[in-house]
Every structure is written in structure tokens, then in C-alpha cells.
């Protein structure tokens, strides 16, 4: 048994430094255990070939196919002027389609000898297009000789595992490396409690690892997958259940509104009735606020479903109970917007201590980083004395200098933009932990809510308030049909003539600094060799061309806060016809008179972001129009994404589409931190049942044994999951 490497053994000791370096740098694999958990993406059968017909462009693929023919051409080039240049063209087929392989120069000799018609092999390379045909240039390949002892042994029977690979390390080399470390699978400690594993008929972990890498039958693969999905769902849910358990042990001050207080006065003046959804969610929140441990609730609602109203009523309930409420917004534009709309909604109830203030009134203060010293001093004093019941601000609220008299509730808007430390710093401002309400307008499918925000109770607002208008969305294919784009600008003019306003959104600002920070291009950017359209250039072209004579202004993130606010005020007051902006207008901006939005280079934005942006129009009584302008060809994935956005206004449906098109890791916030997702087998969208059951089991186990003293293997798995980066992601909730 001595020869079996331990799971925490570094790969460089087992596989050699060169292979280990590529695995670490390109696949994030460092130890024997990491490699054992690098699962095959799919499996090929010897008798059944890959579908060459549906190969994705610009992706690194592995295919199993047969050589149909091979031809060697000679040609003249600058390096070989006498016609001595050589090019080998090999056509491979799998019954569903054909694919051309190309080898040049000295690289033709080996494949010319080996890739004879009838030969079967695995080929790996990047799919590109040449002369309108798909091809792989200089692919790596591994011959599949059915009779050779060594190959049959290596590929263990009929099923060939195809691993997530890179250009530097092909799938079959990963397979060979796994062959070396597979005996270590016997050492894997099983995190699932035995009763749970047996009760659900799951195979032990060592057996699952052997079957996933070296299956003999499809049933082996199914058994292994079922087991490994459970591991991922369960360990993650235990981590979240422990956090919920710890939060439930914290003390908090119960906050109950007075029957004749500021909340009752506010409700009496509402010029409209709350929707059924707003009432139901408010009741859930008030019930949480009345308990003696902190509320942790996620409020998700479609763009414009009235979340701010629900949050404001919760804040007023806390003010009634003698506490203070803080609302944290991700940008200054949004903080100012919230402050304006809250003070407008409250009227003289927001004029505490002032002449003309109502009898139950409180003060609502704004606190942002760019405020002048005197205004800031005033605001800080109002918070420290308790004069201000409500404060709305940006990160500036978290600074050490900010002291609260009695912080009872923290409302975080657009949660995904706030880090853990920021949220905890704000929670630390209360004498006891304050209640927490997290709001997001990005609809999150139930399973993702259970996974990403698993330590929060969830409330959903899915009705739009009365008086909201439908939004029509259309894709404008600017390259195929330029007259469609001309018509789009005519539509903008027509809306302005009716007394309405328009947004034009661009992906980039367009000043010099912008160019310096240009990011690495995606394959689609490369394909069109054009930088994304910029606000400053677009505004100038529109004002000189199709929108000449209209009042066009710009708004972007690098403007001074006062300038931004001034532009937004002018736009809200109807003094600007067309606002050309970046995504700073994505959340919270509310101008009911704006009826049309044109999104330039719409393919550069994500599905959720497009949905958020679109929610800025149709907020009044006139119908909204959203035009998604793109130069991407009709068959591209980007265009299909835009068609999906145009076809539905249901944010939950779109978030599903969005998830299906992205890797699971991005869902869990891993794309931002650059680390791999811990979910290799579990598909957050498809495995709803496993996640829900794992959550129940985890809650039960943690309630019985919060420190997991009786389950050391689970404790170890949890520690591995909760390294620092994972800790941060879990704290997202």
C-alpha cells in the first residue's frame, strides 16, 4: 500500500514537474485529490463516433473519428519558394459529418505515415473556419488500435472518457495521468454519513471515483454521477446550514411597528393599494423583524415590481420601534435616486425636526463619498444622535467614522455588488446584530437561490404594480439589414415628438483611459475586429446625424458625481430628449416618461443585464420599446441569446437561459474571483431535486450536531470547501 500516493500529495511528485505545471496553471489542479475530482465531460464509445456536425467554433474539442482520405500537396511560399512547401490535408468522418485536418511543413511527416484511410483515432484541437469549411489545424491525435494491449488497457474497455482539456494538455494525456493516481481513490474519506448513503442507495466514494474515471458500462457512469452530485450538494448545503444555525443563535432586538406610528401614517397616505405580493412579502418581513434573532431575508423581484416600497415599509416599521434603518446602494447615482424617491414618497414624514414636518416624522439623510465636508458632518451628527431614522448611502456608510444611535435594519440593494467584508462591517455598527434585508432585481431560479443565497430565507415579488406598461423588444440586425438601424433612429424621433424620452446604451465610455484598459478580446470580438461602441463617439454621431436637433446628453461612470446627478435630474425633468449612457443606468433609475431604449452592441451584454436595462422603460402609462442592436450573424450563439431576451419579459425564464449558457462556476460568483467552482458534477439548474433534498438532510444533521463532532470525514470535506475563496462566496448571502 506504500506505493499509493496520498490525496494531498502534490502532483509534481507523482506526475513530474512539466505535466504538474500545466495542470496547475491551466486546470487549477494541484494535488492527487484535485485530479481525482477532475471528472470526464463525456464518454465516447468505440463503436459510436462523435457528432462532427455540431462542433462549436473557436473551442478546444476532442473527437473520435475515422480517416476517410489523406492528400499531400506541395506549394510555393516565401519560406519554400521552389514549390517545396508541404501541406497534408486529412478528411475524417464520423457518419454525421466530415472535418478537415491540416498539417504544414515538417509537421506533415508523422501524420502522413500514420493517418491512413480507415485508421481510427482521437483528435484534439481548436475548431476554425478556412474557405467556409470547418477545420482543425495541427491537431494532436492518439491512434486507437483496437488490438494493441496497451491502448485497450489505457482506455479500459469500451467507454473512452473525454476530459475538460486545454491546448497544452489533451484529454488522453489527462486520462493517462489519472491512470497513475487512480489507486489513491481507495484512500478517499467518505463525507456522507453512512445512514444517509445507505438510505439513498448511493455507492461509497472510492467506488464512485473508480467508476467515473474507468466505467465498464453506462450504469457505472450513472451510479458514479448520482453519488458525486450528492457529495457536492450536501457538503455545500451543510456549510450553509451551519451558517444559518450560527445566525439563528445571534441575539437581536425585536422591532414591532406601533399601531399609530410613522408606518400607519405612511400607509394612510398611499395614493394606490399595495399589490397582493407586496402585502404578503411585507407580512413575512414584519414577522421576521418581531423575533429576537436577526432576520436574514432575500427579496427578489422583477424590475419595477415595487421592492423599494416593501423595503421602505420595513424601514419605517423599525423607526416606529425606536431603531434606525440603513439602505446601502452600489453606486452614487442609485443612492441619490433612492434618496429622492424615498423622500418624495414620504413627503412631510421625512421632515423630522423641521418646520412643517408631520408629527411622527423622522429625518432621511444621504451619505455618499463625494459629499462636501459640512453636509457630511451634519449627516454624521444626525445618525449618531438618532435624529435621522433612515440613512441611504454607498460604501461611505461603512467607514469607521459612521456611528449609529441604534441600527436596527440594514437593507442591501443589488446584493451581488457587495462583498462580505462590507456587509459585515455595516452589521457591526449595531449594538446587537441588526436585521438584514437583501434585495435583487436579477431573478434567481429557486435552486440557485438555495445554493448561492442558501443562508437566507427567500421572498419573491412577481407581480407588477398597476399602471405599468408592456415592453416590446426587437433585435435589430445592423450588419445584415442596415435599414433596420435607420428605422430604429426614426422610432426614437417619433417617441420624442410624442413628448417622450429615450436611452441609448453603449458598452464603453470611449475616452483615452478606456482604450488603455482594453480587455483581452473574446472570440466574437476577434471575429469582427472592432472595439465595442462607445458613449462619447455614439452621442456625437447621433447628435450630428440621425438625431440632429434633439437634446442629446451623456452619462457614464467616470463623470464627477455632481455632474452625473445634474444630468439625471435634467433627464428626469424632461430637459434632455436622449440620454446616451453606459450601464450606470442599469439599476434603480426611474424616469416614467422614458419609453424607448436602444442597446448598441447588445451581444456584449449578458442576458440578465439586458433584462435589467430593458426594465428602465415602460415605467409609466405609455408602452415601452427596447431595440437590441447587434452586428453578429444570425446563426451565432450571441444572436440566439438576443432572440431569447426579445421573446420573453419573464426574468426567471431568462435567468434560466442565462444559466444554461454559462458555466456553473459563474453562477456561484466564481467567474469574478477567477477560481474554479467547487461544482464539477452538480448542475444547479437540472439537479433541483438533489439540492432540495440535500438542504433538508443538511439542516437536520446540523441541528443535531452543529460542530459535526460525530462526522470527522464531513468536517474535513467542509474545511476543503471553505478555503478562503469559498468562504467569500458563501458569505455572498
How many Å apart are CA 628 and CA 488, to the nearest integer?
Answer: 10
- Taking residue 191's Cβ as centre, other Cβ atoms within 10 Å add up to 23
DSSP state of 397: G
Cβ count within 10 A of residue 387:
16
Q: Which long-range contacts (CB under 8 A, 24 or more apart) does 150-156 make?
A: 154/179, 156/214, 156/215, 156/216
Cα 584 versus chain centre, distance: 18
pLDDT at 283 (0 to 100) = 95
Mean per-residue pLDDT, 379-394: 93
Those residues whose C-beta lies under 8 Å from the C-beta of residue 8, and which sit 6 or more positions away, are: 31, 32, 33
| Stronger pLDDT, 11 or 165, i.e. the higher one | 11
**CB–CB of 613/597 below 8 Å?**
yes
- Is the pLDDT assigned to residue 281 strictly greater than 50? yes
User: What's residue 595's pLDDT?
Assistant: 92
Residue 518 has pLDDT above 80, yes or no: no
Percent of the chain with pLDDT over 90: 29
Give buried/exposed letters for 467-476 (b at 16+ CB in 10 A, else e): ebbebebebb
Specify the pairing of strand 120-130 against strand 140-143: antiparallel
Q: What is the pLDDT of residue 644?
A: 87
* Least-confidence region, from 92-96, 541-545, 643-647: 92-96
- How many Å apart are CA 302 and CA 397, to the nearest integer? 27
Q: Which residue has the higher pLDDT, 12 or 382?
A: 382
Lowest-confidence region among 221-230, 370-379, 432-441, 656-665: 656-665
Q: Which pLDDT tens digit goes with each residue over 501-514?
A: 999 999 888 765 54
Residue-wise pLDDT for 106-159, tens only, equals 778 889 899 999 888 888 777 888 777 788 888 888 887 655 444 434 433 457
The reported pLDDT for the residue numbered 660 is 65
pLDDT reading at 454 higher than 50:
yes
Q: What is the mean pLDDT of the chain?
A: 81
* Average of per-residue pLDDT across 481-499: 92
What pLDDT does 312 receive? 95
Highest mean pLDDT among 149-153, 347-351, 671-675, 699-703 belongs to 699-703
- Long-range contact pairs involving 16-23 (C-beta distance under 8 Å, separation at least 24): 19/169, 19/173, 19/177, 22/166, 22/168, 22/169, 23/169, 23/177
Q: 397 vs 391, which has greater pLDDT?
A: 391
Q: Is the model's pLDDT at 662 over the cut of 60?
A: no
Of the listed ranges 105-114, 191-200, 338-347, 663-672, the least confidently predicted one is 663-672
Is 474's pLDDT higher than 60?
yes
With bands split at pLDDT 50, 70 and 90, how would you rate the model's confidence at 298?
confident
The C-alpha atoms of residue 339 and residue 64 are separated, in whole angstroms, by 61
Amino acid at each position: 500500500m506504500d506505493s499509493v500516493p496520498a490525496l494531498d500529495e502534490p502532483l509534481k511528485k507523482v506526475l513530474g514537474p512539466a505535466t504538474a505545471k500545466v495542470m496547475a496553471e491551466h486546470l487549477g489542479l494541484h494535488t492527487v485529490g484535485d485530479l481525482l475530482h477532475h471528472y470526464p465531460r463525456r464518454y465516447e464509445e468505440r463503436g459510436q463516433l462523435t457528432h462532427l456536425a455540431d462542433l462549436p467554433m473557436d473551442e478546444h474539442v476532442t473527437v473520435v473519428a475515422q480517416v476517410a482520405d489523406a492528400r499531400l500537396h506541395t506549394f510555393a511560399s516565401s519560406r519554400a519558394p521552389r514549390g517545396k512547401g508541404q501541406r497534408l490535408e486529412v478528411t475524417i468522418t464520423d457518419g454525421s459529418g466530415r472535418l478537415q485536418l491540416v498539417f504544414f511543413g515538417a509537421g506533415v511527416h508523422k501524420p502522413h505515415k500514420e493517418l491512413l484511410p480507415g485508421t481510427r483515432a482521437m483528435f484534439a484541437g481548436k475548431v476554425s473556419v478556412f474557405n467556409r469549411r470547418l477545420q482543425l489545424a495541427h491537431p494532436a491525435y492518439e491512434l486507437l488500435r483496437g488490438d494493441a494491449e496497451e491502448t485497450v488497457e489505457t482506455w479500459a474497455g469500451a467507454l473512452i472518457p473525454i476530459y475538460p482539456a486545454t491546448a497544452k494538455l489533451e484529454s488522453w494525456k489527462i486520462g493517462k495521468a489519472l491512470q497513475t493516481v487512480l489507486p489513491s481513490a481507495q484512500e478517499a474519506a467518505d463525507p456522507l454519513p453512512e445512514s444517509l448513503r445507505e438510505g439513498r442507495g448511493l455507492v461509497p466514494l472510492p467506488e464512485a471515483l473508480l467508476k467515473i474515471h474507468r466505467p465498464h458500462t453506462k450504469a457505472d457512469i450513472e451510479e458514479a454521477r448520482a453519488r458525486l452530485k450528492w457529495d457536492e450538494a450536501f457538503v455545500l448545503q451543510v456549510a450553509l446550514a451551519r451558517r444559518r444555525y450560527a445566525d439563528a443563535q445571534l441575539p437581536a432586538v425585536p422591532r414591532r411597528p406601533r399601531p399609530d406610528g410613522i408606518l400607519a401614517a405612511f400607509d394612510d397616505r398611499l395614493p394606490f393599494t399595495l399589490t397582493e405580493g407586496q402585502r404578503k412579502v411585507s407580512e413575512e418581513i414584519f414577522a421576521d423583524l418581531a423575533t429576537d434573532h436577526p432576520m436574514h431575508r432575500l427579496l427578489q423581484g422583477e424590475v419595477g415590481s415595487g421592492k423599494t416600497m416593501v423595503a421602505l415599509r420595513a424601514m419605517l416599521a423599525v423607526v416606529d420601534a425606536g431603531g434606525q434603518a440603513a439602505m446601502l446602494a452600489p453606486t452614487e447615482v442609485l443612492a441619490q435616486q433612492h434618496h429622492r424617491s424615498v423622500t418624495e414618497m414620504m413627503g412631510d414624514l421625512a421632515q423630522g425636526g423641521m418646520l412643517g414636518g408631520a408629527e411622527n416624522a423622522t429625518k432621511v439623510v444621504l451619505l455618499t463619498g463625494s459629499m462636501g465636508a459640512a453636509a457630511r458632518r451634519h449627516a454624521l451628527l444626525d445618525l449618531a444622535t438618532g435624529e435621522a431614522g433612515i440613512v441611504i448611502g454607498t460604501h461611505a456608510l461603512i467607514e469607521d467614522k459612521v456611528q449609529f444611535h441604534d441600527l436596527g435594519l440594514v437593507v442591501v440593494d443589488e446584493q451581488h455588488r457587495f462583498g462580505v467584508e462590507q456587509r459585515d462591517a455595516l452589521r457591526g455598527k449595531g449594538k446587537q446584530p441588526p436585521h438584514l434585508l437583501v434585495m435583487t432585481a436579477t431573478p434567481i431560479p429557486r435552486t440557485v437561490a438555495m445554493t448561492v443565497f442558501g443562508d437566507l430565507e427567500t421572498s419573491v415579488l412577481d407581480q407588477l404594480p398597476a399602471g405599468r406598461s408592456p415592453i416590446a423588444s426587437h433585435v435589430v440586425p445592423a450588419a445584415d439589414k442596415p435599414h433596420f438601424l435607420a428605422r430604429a433612429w426614426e422610432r426614437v424621433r417619433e417617441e420624442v415628438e410624442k413628448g417622450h424620452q429615450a436611452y441609448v446604451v453603449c458598452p464603453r465610455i470611449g475616452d483615452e483611459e478606456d482604450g488603455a484598459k482594453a480587455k483581452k478580446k473574446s472570440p466574437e470580438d476577434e471575429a469582427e475586429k472592432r472595439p465595442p461602441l462607445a458613449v462619447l463617439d455614439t452621442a456625437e454621431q447621433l447628435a450630428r446625424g440621425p438625431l440632429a436637433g434633439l437634446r442629446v446628453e451623456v452619462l457614464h461612470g467616470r463623470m464627477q458625481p455632481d455632474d452625473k446627478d445634474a444630468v439625471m435630474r435634467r433627464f428626469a425633468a424632461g430637459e434632455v430628449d436622449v440620454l446616451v449612457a453606459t450601464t450606470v443606468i442599469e439599476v434603480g433609475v426611474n424616469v416614467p416618461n422614458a419609453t424607448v431604449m436602444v442597446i448598441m452592441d447588445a451581444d456584449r451584454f449578458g442576458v440578465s443585464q439586458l433584462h435589467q436595462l430593458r426594465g428602465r422603460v415602460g415605467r409609466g402609462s405609455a408602452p415601452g420599446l427596447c431595440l437590441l442592436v447587434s452586428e453578429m450573424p444570425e446563426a451565432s450563439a450571441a444572436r440566439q441569446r438576443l432572440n431569447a431576451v426579445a421573446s420573453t419579459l419573464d426574468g426567471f425564464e431568462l435567468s434560466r437561459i442565462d444559466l444554461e449558457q454559462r458555466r456553473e462556476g459563474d453562477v456561484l460568483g466564481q467567474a469574478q474571483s477567477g477560481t474554479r467552482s467547487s461544482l464539477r458534477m452538480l448542475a444547479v439548474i437540472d439537479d433541483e431535486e438533489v439540492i432540495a433534498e440535500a438542504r433538508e438532510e443538511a439542516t437536520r444533521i446540523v441541528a443535531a450536531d452543529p460542530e459535526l463532532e460525530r462526522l470527522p470525514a464531513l468536517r474535513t470535506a467542509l474545511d476543503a470547501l471553505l478555503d478562503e475563496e469559498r468562504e467569500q462566496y458563501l458569505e455572498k448571502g
